[in-house]
């Protein structure tokens, strides 16, 4: 399997290595499948009802996974932000269960893309899915990153 790790951040809610509340997610480009993937096990700290992952947490994971799919070509500076996100919850997603987040590009350019992502249960069932429209992040926002840019640049090399 041909995979490469994507960069992460220091304080991101989903991947921030120095954020005590982060889910510590790590995404990999899967070149053979033309997807990005992340394995995750979500604790009860991120639940709604006992044993069920909160829908807002799932939406955040889907948003990030879909948006990161534009970096499948290893252009890790091609960061985009979400214009529109549509989430469909197909069934409850249990806490403390190995899950897989899978993202892909439906179509796009260097400035704008339509992307999608799924949360997949251990038996292969999709528990939640999304489609999103994303666009190129304005450069003036990247100029404000400070130490986050250093971390992003460092992990781009992994």
Q: Could you report the per-residue pLDDT of 68-91, keeping only the tens digit for each? A: 999 998 888 888 999 999 999 999
Residue 51 lies in a domain: yes
Which residues, 6+ apart, have CB-to-CB distance to 65 below 8 Å? 27, 36, 38, 101, 102, 103, 117
Report the C-alpha gap between 56 and 101 in whole angstroms: 15
> Is 0.85 topped by the overall pTM?
yes
Q: Could you report the per-residue pLDDT of 109-142, keeping only the tens digit for each? A: 989 999 999 999 999 999 999 999 999 988 787 7
pLDDT at 144: 77
- CATH code of 45's domain: 3.10.129.10
**Domains identified in the chain, total number:** 1
Give the domain range for residue 126. Answer: 3-140
Residue 158 lies in a domain: no
């Amino acid at each position: 399997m041909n995979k490469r790790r994507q960069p992460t951040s220091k304080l991101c809610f989903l991947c921030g290595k120095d954020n005590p509340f982060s889910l510590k997610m790590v995404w990999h480009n899967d070149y053979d499948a033309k997807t990005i993937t992340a394995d995750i096990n979500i604790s009860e700290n991120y639940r709604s009802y006992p044993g069920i992952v909160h829908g807002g947490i799932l939406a955040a994971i889907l948003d990030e996974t879909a948006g990161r799919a534009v970096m499948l070509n290893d252009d890790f500076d091609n960061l985009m932000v979400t214009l529109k996100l549509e989430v469909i919850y197909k069934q409850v997603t249990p806490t403390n269960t190995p899950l897989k987040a899978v993202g892909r590009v439906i179509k796009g350019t260097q400035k704008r893309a339509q992307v999608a992502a799924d949360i997949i249960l251990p038996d292969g069932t999709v528990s939640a899915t999304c489609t999103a429209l994303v666009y190129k992040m304005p450069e003036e926002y990247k100029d404000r990153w400070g130490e986050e840019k250093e971390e992003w640049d460092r992990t781009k090399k992994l």
